[in-house]
Amino acid sequence: MEDAQPTNRPDGPARVIFCVVGTRPECVKMAPVIAALRQQSWAQVRVISTGQHRELVAQTLGIFGITPDMDLDLMEADQTLASLTARILTRLDPLLAAFKPDLVLAQGDTTTVMATGLASFYRQIPFGHVEAGLRTHDLRKPFPEEFNRVVAGHLASIHFAPAAGAKEHLLRQGAPEATVHITGNTGIDALLQMAARPGPAPAYPRNPAARLIVLTAHRRENFGAPLRNICAAVTTLHARFPDLEFVFPVHPNPNVRDVVQPLLSPLARVHLIEPVDHLTMTGLLRRCHFIMTDSGGLQEEGPALGKPVLVLRSETERPEGVQAGMAILVGTDTEAIVTEASRLLEDTAHHARIAQVTSPYGDGQAAQRIALLCGALLGAA
C-alpha cells in the first residue's frame, strides 16, 4: 500500500474525491465516473483499490487506462466477511484521516462499498453511493449484497440511482428526496465505450457456425447445490444441441472453481476460461446467442446489446429487464433452465421478440450526470 501521506490541496476550488473500488464489476462501473470527474477542473481524484479482487481490479482498470493511486492489498485466501470488513475499515481509516477528502464515492453492493460508507461516516466525510437503491427486500438474497446496499443507503449523503424504481426504494427507506438523483447506470456508459473500441476477434465459438452461450455464475447464494444444478443444465443442453458452444469465465473463488471444473471440463464444447477483461467480454456478448448468468452487470449489458438473458436467480434487484421482456428469471432448477434455454434455441420467433436492442438501464451519460451532481454537492460546479 502506498504510504498514507497527505498532499497539499491545490489552490482555488479544487476538491479531493476518493473513488474506492474492490471488485471487477465495481471497476467497470466506476471507470466512467473516474474519467468524468478527471475532466472537471475542480476535482482532484484519487483511486483507492481495496484489493478485494486484486488481479481482476488491475486488469479491468487497465483496460480503461486507470491505475489505482493506492492499493490496500486486503485479499487473503478463505477470508471471512467479518475479517474483510475489519481490514477495510482499519486500512481505509488512516487514508481518510490523512487526506481528508471532500467526498468519497463507491459503487454497488459489495463489502468494499458497505465498509467504505461506514469508514466515511465515522470520519464525517460525505459518502456518495453509485448505483444506489437496488433492492430484493430479502437480506439473504443476494447475501451479503442486499445487506451491504441497505446499509450504504443509510450512510450515503448523495444517492445516484440508476432508475426510477431504485429512487422509490430509497425514498421508502427514508432518504431525503433532495439527496436522490436518477442518473442511469454507469455500466451502460462502460459498455458503450467498449463496444465503440476495436477489439480482438472473439476466440469463441471455435466453430464459426455454432451458437454461443455466455455463462457466468459466482453469487454466494448459488454456491453448492444451485451451482451443481446449473452445471447439470449445461450438461443436458450440451448433449441435446450439438451446434452449441458455451464460454464460461470461471470466477477464481474456490467455491465456484472447485465445483465447475470437474463437472464441466470433460465437455468438449464447454470452454472454461479465466476471467476476461471488459473489452474481450463485450466482444463475446456481441457474438453470443444468449446469456445465462447470476451477474447483475450482465443483466444490464445483455439488453443493451440485444441479447436475451436467462437470470440464474430466484429474484433480481434489476426488474426493469424482466418487466420489459428482455430477461427471464429462471432460477437454478435444472429442468427450468433447460426448458427456457431450449425454447430460446428452438423457437426463433421467441428469441427474436426478446432480442430487442432497447436498454431500460441508461443512455450512456450517467457518469457525466454524476460528475455534475458531485460538483453541485461540493459547491464547485
Q: What are the catalytic residues?
A: 109, 131, 145, 218, 220, 251
The neighbour count for residue 18, using CB atoms within 10 Å, is 24
Is the peptide bond preceding residue 200 cis, with omega within 30 degrees of 0? no
Q: Which of 199, 130, 135 is nearest to 158 (CA)?
A: 130
Is the peptide bond preceding residue 126 cis, with omega within 30 degrees of 0? no
Set of cell numbers at residue 52? 478485494
- 3-state SS string over the chain? CCCCCCCCCCCCCCEEEEEEECCHHHHHHHHHHHHHHHCCCCEEEEEEECCCCHHHHHHHHHHCCCCCCEECCCCCCCCCHHHHHHHHHHHHHHHHHHHCCCEEEEECCCHHHHHHHHHHHHCCCCEEEECCCCCCCCCCCCCCHHHHHHHHHHHCCEEEECCHHHHHHHHHHCCCHHHEEECCCHHHHHHHHHHCCCCCCCCCCCCCCCEEEEEECCCHHHCCHHHHHHHHHHHHHHHHCCCEEEEEECCCCHHHHHHHHHHHCCCCCEEEECCCCHHHHHHHHHHCCEEEECCHHHHHHHHHCCCCEEECCCCCCCHHHHHCCCEEECCCCHHHHHHHHHHHHHCHHHHHHHCCCCCCCCCCCHHHHHHHHHHHHCCCC
Torsion angle defined by CA atoms of residues 126, 132, 137 and 142, in that order, rounded to the nearest 10 degrees: -100
For residue 82, what are the contacts with CB-CB under 8 A and spacing of at least 6? none
For residue 78, what are the contacts with CB-CB under 8 A and spacing of at least 6? 254
